[in-house]
């Protein structure tokens, strides 16, 4: 199992606008290829103006295959273009993690067609 932890930093006060772009253009595409995220959350303390989402994959190969198919979807290109137009994101961090042996395993997501 592989957890893809993605954190984005936005310009101050711009997280809500970025999440609207994602909700309209990005989320529907990701649901088709990766299913529901394990988590999608906005920082309330610590590093503000950030949001994090976590995706669950069987393996690195599963992640590569699903993301590769998604990247070829024209709707994903629309989302990426809207991101550029919005100009809200200033930094992205991606960390791939595996659950500790004693930790409960998250359920694999259901893919939405």
Q: What is the CATH number of the domain that holds 29?
A: 3.30.70.100
pLDDT for the residue numbered 113: 65
Helix (H) or strand (E) holding 42: strand 39-42
pLDDT for the residue numbered 103: 86
Domain of 56, in residue numbers: 2-97
pLDDT for the residue numbered 110: 73
pLDDT for the residue numbered 107: 75
pTM: 0.88
**Residue 53 resides in a domain:** yes
- From CA 68, how far away is CA 72, in angstroms rounded? 7
Q: In what order do the strands lie in the sheet with 89-97?
A: 39-42, 50-57, 2-10, 89-97
Low-confidence ranges of the chain (pLDDT < 50): none
**Residue 113 resides in a domain:** no
pLDDT for the residue numbered 92: 96
The residues that bridge with 6 in the sheet, in sequence order, are: 53, 94
Q: DSSP assignment, residue 110? A: P
- From CA 69, how far away is CA 111, in angstroms rounded? 13
Both tokens of residue 79? 């989302």
* Cα angle: 110, vertex 60, 55; to 5 degrees: 40
**Residue 106 resides in a domain:** no
Total residues found in the chain within this entry? 113
**Residue 21 resides in a domain:** yes
**Residue 28 resides in a domain:** yes
How many domains in the chain?
Answer: 1
pLDDT for the residue numbered 87: 97
């Amino acid at each position: 199992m592989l957890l893809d932890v993605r954190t984005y930093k936005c310009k101050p006060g711009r997280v809500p606008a970025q999440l609207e772009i994602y909700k309209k253009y990005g989320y529907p595409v990701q649901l088709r290829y990766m299913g529901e995220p394990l988590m999608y959350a906005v920082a309330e303390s610590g590093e503000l103006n950030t949001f994090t989402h976590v995706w669950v994959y069987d393996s690195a190969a599963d992640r590569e295959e699903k993301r590769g198919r998604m990247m070829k979807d024209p709707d994903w290109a629309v989302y990426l273009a809207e991101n550029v137009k919005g100009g809200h994101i200033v930094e992205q961090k991606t960390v791939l993690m595996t659950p500790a042996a004693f930790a409960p395993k998250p359920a694999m997501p259901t893919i939405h067609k």
